[in-house]
Amino acid sequence: MEILHKRQYQIQPIYLIRATVLLAVVLVLLAISTVAVRAAESSLRTAAVKPAPTTSSTVSSTAATSAQPVAPAAAAAATAVAKKARAINMMLGNASWYGSVLQGHKTASGEIFDEHLLTAAHRTLPFGTMVEVTDLRNHLSVIVKITDRGELYADRAIDLSYAAADKLHMVHDGVHPVKLTVIPKNDPILAGWTPDAGASADAMMDKN
């Protein structure tokens, strides 16, 4: 019995050494795994913060997008308006006139016709539009306000009041070829204009 107890007492330190070594190995493995996890986390944070690389194609695409001034629909609408304005400003045709026969009658705009005022009838121009009528025979000009539609002949572009026709010296001839130019409402040329033929003539002379 004594011999057995001595052998058991001698074997116990070996188990302690093995357990110690095993524990040390486990601790080393835990330390290595911890370092690896931290390194991986640090790499992920750097990748998340790092901005995406900017290529020349991306810059060119952004510049091209910002360089577009207007949307396609708006550009098309502006082009259509400009073409219409140019077409109106370059309108050519014959001018006739009307006077005492319709004196005092209501025009299509609702205004009362006065042959002594600088007004005119046109098929499509909005009421209130200011138009410069230039006689292509004598190059005289007069500014009139569109107040009526009238029943124009097919070859007539505009029907002037007696006062406007008189300014163009076309009363006796009845019909003259003319050029029509629509005048914007903010044009300085309208600053001294009035429907009264005499007052408008004086204003135009003062401008000249």
Give the per-residue pLDDT at 4: 47
Tokens of 148: 């009526």
- Quick one: 3 and 90 in the same domain? no
Give the per-residue pLDDT at 17: 77
Give the per-residue pLDDT at 42: 62
As for how many domains the chain has, the answer is 2
Residue 57 within any structural domain of the chain: no
Total-model pTM: 0.54
Look up the domain containing 4 and give its range.
Answer: 1-42
pLDDT (tens, 9 = 90+) of the chain, 208 residues, equals 444 455 554 556 677 777 787 778 777 777 777 766 676 666 655 555 454 555 555 445 554 444 455 567 777 776 665 556 555 556 899 999 999 989 999 999 999 999 999 999 999 999 999 999 999 999 999 999 999 997 778 888 999 999 999 999 999 999 999 999 999 988 888 988 999 877 555 444 444 4
- Quick one: 183 and 87 in the same domain? yes
Which DSSP state fits 129? -
Residue 59 within any structural domain of the chain: no
CATH number for the domain that contains residue 116: 2.40.40.10
Give the per-residue pLDDT at 80: 63
Residue 74 within any structural domain of the chain: no
Nearest 10 degrees: Cα torsion 104, 107, 110, 111: -50
Burial (CB < 10 A; 0-12, 13-18, 19+), residue 91, is middle
Work out the number of other CB atoms within 10 angstroms of the CB of residue 36. 10
Give the per-residue pLDDT at 130: 95
Write the CB contacts of 180 (distance below 8 Å, at least 6 apart in sequence): 88, 89, 91, 92, 93, 131, 132, 133, 134, 157, 158
